[in-house]
């Protein structure tokens, strides 16, 4: 069992930040924690780390009480504003974290090089933090969270402020480590979470309002289509007249949700692409099912 919470609540004075949360997580490779500012995400992460104590209810992490010595080396967390010390090289700092975990000097050195290699920054071992870009420093802090091969890694906004290439490197890292450790990732970037996580927890006003499986429970009879900007005002009407289409929802700009008859048109996606080609209409994106954003916020979730 990764995380088990029963009627977990946390108050700061009179402010109820988490309100009787029930949660059972096991098996998922990576879990996304989403929700508006102030919803309680950081509070939940802090409770999982044992930085905070619950006001009531119970919580166990990897079968242990948060903060217990059994979790040392099993659980790591990267706070959103984690900083590196400008006074020491990357290698020295990572080795120091290894030493804090009880590694010998040579073990810590090996481990520091291993995690730097994982984030594709092996050649920064002797560099100072100020010699690296913001994105590279962020990846080093993620490497730091991977020291000692923890089973559960908590990442708070790991790609906030990163350029696309660095954000992609972080996503690839999380995906490459699938099966080796579990991630709990807090972020506001739903599109990105969809690429990294298998389970999404939506937290609102201190309560878990939805739990979604990213790749499960999707309605096969829905396609999300984004057309090129020059596709014209009548594109929605034209789409609605295609054989098999039951309903077209215009989502803004040139993005459409198409609900279609999956029984009569099992290859509707191919038929749609052919129709677009014949009509010389360019498309930008075609996706099966609903986006995570639609599933969380349109009430269209199948769960
Ligand atoms: N130390 C504190 N003292 C008083 N209230 C707090 C404290 N920490 C958090 N809160 C309140 O608890 C609620 C949950 O805060 P929390 O930081 O967990 O939300 P969050 O989902 O992480 O928000 P964000 O997305 O903005 O980081 C908020 O209303 C916040 O104002």
Q: Say if ligand 1 is within 6 A of residue 38 CB.
A: yes
CA of 53 to the centre of ligand 1 (A): 15
DSSP at 241? T
187 lines ligand 1 (CB under 6 A): no
The pLDDT of residue 303: 32
Structure tokens given for 190: 């739903």
> What is the fold of 220-298?
Alpha-Beta Plaits (3.30.70)
Question: Residue 208's pLDDT is what?
Answer: 94
State the pLDDT at residue 81: 84
Question: Distance (Å, rounded) from C-alpha 297 to C-alpha 133?
Answer: 35
Specify the residue with its C-alpha closest to ligand 1, atom 18: 40
Every domain of the chain and the residues it spans: 3-213, 220-298
For residue 80, which atom of ligand 1 is closest to its CA?
Answer: 27
Residue by residue, pLDDT tens for the chain (303 residues) are: 899 999 999 999 999 999 999 999 987 779 999 999 999 999 999 999 999 999 999 999 999 999 999 998 899 999 888 899 999 999 999 999 999 999 999 999 999 999 999 999 999 999 999 999 999 999 999 999 999 999 999 999 999 888 999 899 999 999 999 888 999 999 988 888 888 898 999 999 999 999 888 876 555 689 999 999 888 778 999 999 999 999 999 888 889 999 999 999 999 999 999 999 999 999 999 988 877 887 787 654 333
Q: Please tell me the predicted confidence (pLDDT) of residue 298.
A: 64
- Tokens linked to 209: 């309002």
Whole-angstrom distance, CA of residue 122 vs CA of residue 198? 29
User: Is residue 137 in contact with ligand 1, taking CB distance under 6 Å?
Assistant: no
Mutate to test the pocket of ligand 1, among 38, 79, 209 (most ligand atoms within 8 A of CB): 38
Torsion, Cα of 7, 194, 189, 123 (10° steps): 110
- Output the residue whose Cα is nearest ligand 1's atom 7: 12
Burial 67-99, CB ≥16 within 10 A → b, else e: beeebebbbbbbbeebebeeeebbbebbbebbe
To test ligand 1's pocket by mutation, which of 15, 156, 157, 190 has the most ligand atoms within 8 angstroms of CB?
Answer: 15
The whole-angstrom distance between residue 286's C-alpha and the CA centroid of its chain comes to 22
- Calculate how far, in angstroms, residue 153's C-alpha sits from the geometric centre of ligand 1: 21
Q: What is the CATH number of domain 3-213?
A: 3.40.50.300
Ligand 1 pocket check for 188: Cβ under 6 Å: no
Centre of ligand 1 to C-alpha 39, Å, is 7
**Cα dihedral value 67, 68, 72, 78, nearest 10:** -10
Token pair belonging to 195: 């690429």
Ligand 1 atom 27, closest CA: 37
Atom of ligand 1 lying closest to residue 206 CA: 14
E-state strands within the chain? 3-12, 15-25, 30-34, 56-61, 75-78, 152-156, 182-186, 199-204, 207-213, 222-227, 245-252, 255-260, 283-288
Does ligand 1 lie within 6 Å of residue 39's CB atom?
Answer: yes
Q: Is any ligand 1 atom within 6 A of the Cβ of residue 47?
A: no
User: How high is the ipTM of this complex?
Assistant: 0.97
Atom of ligand 1 nearest to the CA of 36: 25
Cα R_g (the chain), whole angstroms: 23
Which pLDDT value is given to residue 216? Answer: 64
Q: Is 224 near ligand 1, meaning CB less than 6 Å away? A: no
| CA gap 147, 114 in Å, rounded | 9
């Amino acid at each position: 069992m990764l995380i088990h919470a029963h009627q977990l609540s946390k108050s700061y004075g009179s402010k109820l930040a988490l309100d009787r949360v029930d949660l059972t997580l096991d098996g998922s490779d990576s879990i996304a924690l989403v929700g508006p500012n102030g919803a309680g995400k950081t509070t939940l992460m802090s409770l999982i780390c044992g930085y905070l104590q619950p006001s009531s209810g119970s919580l166990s992490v990897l079968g242990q009480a948060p903060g217990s010595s059994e979790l040392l080396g099993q659980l790591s967390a990267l706070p959103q504003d984690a900083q590196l010390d400008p006074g020491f090289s990357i290698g020295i700092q990572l080795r120091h974290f290894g030493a804090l975990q009880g590694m010998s000097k040579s073990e810590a050195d090996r481990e520091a090089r291993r995690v730097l290699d994982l984030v594709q920054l092996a050649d920064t071992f002797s560099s100072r933090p100020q010699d690296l870009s913001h994105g590279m420093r962020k990846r080093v802090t993620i490497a730091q969270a991977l020291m000692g091969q923890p089973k559960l890694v908590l990442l708070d906004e790991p790609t906030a402020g990163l350029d696309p290439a660095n954000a992609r490197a972080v996503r690839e890292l999380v995906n490459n480590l699938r099966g080796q450790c579990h991630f709990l990732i807090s972020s506001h970037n739903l599109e990105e979470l969809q690429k990294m996580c298998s389970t999404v927890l939506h937290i609102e006003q201190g309560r878990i309002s939805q739990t979604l499986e990213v790749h499960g429970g999707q309605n096969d009879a829905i396609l999300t289509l984004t057309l090129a900007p020059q596709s014209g005002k009548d594109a929605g009407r034209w789409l609605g007249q295609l054989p098999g289409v039951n309903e077209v929802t215009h989502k803004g700009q040139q993005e459409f949700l198409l609900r279609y008859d999956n029984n009569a048109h099992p290859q509707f996606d191919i038929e749609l692409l052919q129709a677009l080609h014949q009509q010389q209409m360019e498309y930008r994106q075609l996706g099966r099912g609903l986006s995570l954003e639609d599933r969380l916020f349109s009430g269209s979730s199948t769960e």
